[in-house]
Chains A and B, each alone.
Chain A
Amino acid sequence: MRISTFFYAFKQGFKSIFRNRWFSLASIATIGACLFLLGLFYAVLANFEHVVKTAEEGVSITVFFDEDLEESRILEIGDMISKRVEVSNVNYVSAEEAWEAFREEYIGDSSVIFTDNPLEDSANYEIYLKDISMQSTLVTYLESIQGVREVNRSEVAATALSGINMLITYISGGIIIILLAVSIFLISNTVTIGISIRKEEIQIMKYIGATDFFVRAPFVFEGIIIGFIGAVIPLGIIHVLYSEVISYIVVRFDMLNQLLKFLPVQVIFDVLAPLCIALGMGIGFLGSFSTVRKHLSV
């Protein structure tokens, strides 16, 4: 393709948007509405996942050791644990630290009556998991290590969080597939109607001797530009809405703020912006490409 043909096709595609402004508006509105719903759903979903993930990160497994176990062995066990794939972080809590923390939280100044450390054998590892569903595998492993006296974990929290996570994955996957299918159907219908009206234009070009590429290129550019605009508009609206809604919730419902930590808009848009733009442009491209194809056999 010549550079001049490329620019010609691009210019014609751009001009066509204005020439067929009602069709363009309808297409942009359809793409915009579909991507707006998709974006909104993604923003809610990402926050929900974030809440679950935060909760998961707070769940830890505590490992206690046999009495009089040598410190070198404890360190060796720590090394072994931190090398496991299930593990995201391991904290060593010495007997002194454990007693210090206990004293601060439950006893206060009355602790002066204790001359020795009552939690002498309480040195432990606090283990945080990458994925809560891996807890049982890790616990089995930990219990099998020689020198480990006790492994404390919260089975209920792990099962519940793991279940919620699974549920979110299934529901979000389902809803995204439905939304995408509806979007593609609506958008390709709009594009099909818009291009079918210009069937005669395509025929004329073909009679004059235009190649399929030459006929198709301006339509494809038009589709891509419409898809891009149709993606950018809902992204802008979601950006404003998200920031506004989050600040409203944070100010209005202070109590919620203690429980929930919302994702910053930037984190949402790191995924949502390229996703929506790629979807909009992709659907615009595919819709126009396949529809023009139907009319090319002249």
Chain B
Amino acid sequence: MQGPDYENVPSMNETSEWKPKASQSKSKTRKKKHLIEFSEDDMIVLQDVHKSYETGAPALSGVNLRIKRGEFAFIVGDSGSGKSTLIKLLLRELLPTLGEIYVDGINVKKIRRKKVPKYRRKMGVVFQDFRLLKDRNVYENVAFAQRIIQVPAKQIRKNVPQVLSTVGLAGKYKAKPRQLSGGEQQRVALARALINHPDILLADEPTGNLDPTNSWEIMKLLEEINREGTTVLVVTHNREIVNAMQRRVITMKQGIISSDEEKGGYSNED
């Protein structure tokens, strides 16, 4: 097998096959009839979303939320406030008990099981525990995301080094996840999430296992990704980062949105 093309890794400004989000065409305008009011600027819309688990315990109790295309938002709140349930609903791992969820104009409830993989490819997802394939190296972990959408091998060999250089890991493509620090593993997860140019990036506690320096580096990368046009939704407990970044902050409490502020911060009661 031909190795990855590291000889001609372009900088972020150079034109290349793997292009940052800003140079990608906008997704097609959808003119479908929706059950709720929906503007073309809306990337994520939740209307009166309820979710109860089989035990009957409510995880979400009437959540209304609109996230615009290209927005950067934090979702904060205590454990059990419904943040992770919200992410799982957006990933269509769970279905709402009541209410409607639209992502890029698609009614998530109506996606057939067979179509879920295609829907998920709209999203990049990053977890607190990185969730890398432990027995594969950095290159293979990132390439995997392209293989599943059947990108030709030649193209993958070009794209992977480029996205790895974007997250500052070009030199470590042969390393296995266990040989990397937490920050580096999270960068690999980011590279994997970005390589297919997702419309949305969902980050569930991306800095939860990282030290402050690495946490800031990951947040800077997320900001950069957002600047390129990707909608970024970050679930976090990191008070310092939320307060410093002055972005939209959606606070959840006991399954509802207790506050939603532009350029907000962690409220004192949290």
Chain A residues within CB distance 8 Å of chain B = 2, 4-5, 8, 19-20, 200-201, 203-212, 214, 298
Least CB distance, A14 to chain B, in whole angstroms:
14
Interface size on B, residues (CB 8 A): 25
Contact A209 B149 (CB under 8 A): yes
Contact A211 B117 (CB under 8 A): yes
Does B30 sit within 8 A of A, measured CB to CB?
Answer: no
Contact B153 A208 (CB under 8 A): no
Chain B residues within CB distance 8 Å of chain A = 91, 93, 114, 117-121, 123, 125, 131-135, 144-145, 147-150, 152-153, 192, 196
Option from A4, A5, A19, A208 in Cβ contact (under 8 Å) with B192: A208
Option from A4, A200, A208 in Cβ contact (under 8 Å) with B148: A208
Task: Decide yes or no: A209 and B148 within 8 Å by CB, A4-B153, A298-B93 being known contacts.
Answer: yes
| A to B CB contacts below 8 Å, 13 in the list | A5-B150, A201-B133, A201-B134, A203-B131, A205-B148, A207-B125, A208-B121, A208-B125, A208-B145, A208-B148, A208-B192, A209-B196, A214-B117
Least CB distance, A203 to chain B, in whole angstroms:
8
Contact A208 B144 (CB under 8 A): yes
Once bound together, how far apart are the Cα atoms of A206 and B88, in whole Å?
Answer: 13
Contacts of A207 in B (CB 8 A): 91, 93, 120, 125, 131
Contacts of B148 in A (CB 8 A): 205, 208-211, 214
Option from B117, B133, B149, B196 in Cβ contact (under 8 Å) with A204: B133
Contacts of B120 in A (CB 8 A): 206-209
Least CB distance, A243 to chain B, in whole angstroms:
41
**Prevailing SS type, chain A contact patch:** helix
Contacts of A209 in B (CB 8 A): 117-121, 123, 145, 148-149, 196
Once bound together, how far apart are the Cα atoms of A270 and B152, in whole Å?
Answer: 44
Task: Decide yes or no: A206 and B117 within 8 Å by CB, A4-B150, A4-B153, A5-B150 being known contacts.
Answer: yes
Interface-central residue, B117, B134, B149, B150, by most chain A CB under 10 Å: B117
Contacts of A20 in B (CB 8 A): 135
Contacts of B133 in A (CB 8 A): 201, 204
Contacts of A5 in B (CB 8 A): 150
Once bound together, how far apart are the Cα atoms of A20 and B136, in whole Å?
Answer: 12
Across the interface, name the chain B residue whose C-beta is closest to A296: B113
Once bound together, how far apart are the Cα atoms of A8 and B147, in whole Å?
Answer: 9
Contacts of B150 in A (CB 8 A): 2, 4-5
Contact A200 B131 (CB under 8 A): yes
Contacts of A298 in B (CB 8 A): 93
Once bound together, how far apart are the Cα atoms of A207 and B135, in whole Å?
Answer: 18
Least CB distance, A295 to chain B, in whole angstroms:
13
Least CB distance, B23 to chain A, in whole angstroms:
22
Least CB distance, B246 to chain A, in whole angstroms:
30
List the 6 closest A-B pairs by CB distance, nearest first. Answer: A209-B120, A209-B121, A210-B148, A211-B117, A19-B135, A209-B117
Least CB distance, A199 to chain B, in whole angstroms:
12
Contacts of A8 in B (CB 8 A): 147
Once bound together, how far apart are the Cα atoms of A227 and B241, in whole Å?
Answer: 53
Contacts of A19 in B (CB 8 A): 135
Contacts of A208 in B (CB 8 A): 120-121, 125, 144-145, 148, 192
